[in-house]
Chain A
Amino acid sequence: MNIFRISADLLHLASFFILIFKMKATKSCKGISFKTQLMYTLVFTCRYLDLFHVLGMMITFNFAHITGLTLYNTFMKILFLAASYYIVYLMRTELKSTSDDARDTFVLWHILAPCAVLALIFNAQFTILEILWTFSIYLEAVAVMPQLMLLIETGEADSLSSHYMFAVGGYRALYLVNWVYRYATEPYYSNWIAWIAGFVQTALFGDFFYYYFVKIMSGDAALKLPT
Chain B
Amino acid sequence: AAAADDHDEL
Q: Is the CB of A53 within 8 A of B4?
A: yes
Question: How large, as a class, is the contact surface on chain B?
Answer: under 10
A130 CA / B6 CA spacing, docked (Å): 10
Q: Is the CB of A69 within 8 A of B8?
A: yes
Q: Is the CB of B2 within 8 A of A130?
A: yes
Q: Is A16 an interface residue (CB 8 A)?
A: no
Report chain A residues within 8 Å CB of B4: 49-50, 53, 129-130, 133
Q: Which candidate, A73-81, A105-113, A200-208, A213-221, is the interface stretch facing chain B?
A: A73-81
Interface residues in A, total, Cβ within 8 A: 22
Q: Which of A9, A76, A125 is B3 in contact with, Cβ under 8 Å?
A: A125
Nearest Cβ on chain A to B3's Cβ, whole angstroms: 7
Q: Is the CB of B3 within 8 A of A73?
A: no
Of all chain B residues, the one with the shortest Cβ separation from A77 is B10
Report chain A residues within 8 Å CB of B7: 47, 50, 133
Report chain B residues within 8 Å CB of A175: 9
Q: Is the CB of B9 within 8 A of A130?
A: no
Report chain B residues within 8 Å CB of A76: 10
Residues 162-208 of A contacting B (Cβ, < 8 Å): 175, 178, 194
Q: Is A5 an interface residue (CB 8 A)?
A: yes
Q: Which of B1, B5, B10 is A80 in contact with, Cβ under 8 Å?
A: B10
Report chain B residues within 8 Å CB of A125: 1-3
Report chain A residues within 8 Å CB of B5: 50, 53, 65
A47 CA / B9 CA spacing, docked (Å): 10
B residues with a Cβ closer than 8 A to A are 1-5, 7-10
A residues with a Cβ closer than 8 A to B are 5, 9, 12, 47, 49-50, 53, 65, 69, 73, 76-77, 80, 124-125, 127, 129-130, 133, 175, 178, 194
Given A12-B10, A73-B10; 16 other pairs, CB 8 A cutoff: A9-B10, A47-B7, A49-B4, A50-B4, A50-B5, A50-B7, A53-B5, A65-B5, A69-B8, A73-B8, A73-B9, A77-B10, A124-B2, A129-B3, A130-B3, A133-B4
A-B contact pairs, 13 of them (CB 8 A): A5-B9, A9-B10, A47-B7, A50-B7, A53-B4, A65-B5, A73-B10, A76-B10, A80-B10, A125-B1, A130-B2, A130-B3, A130-B4
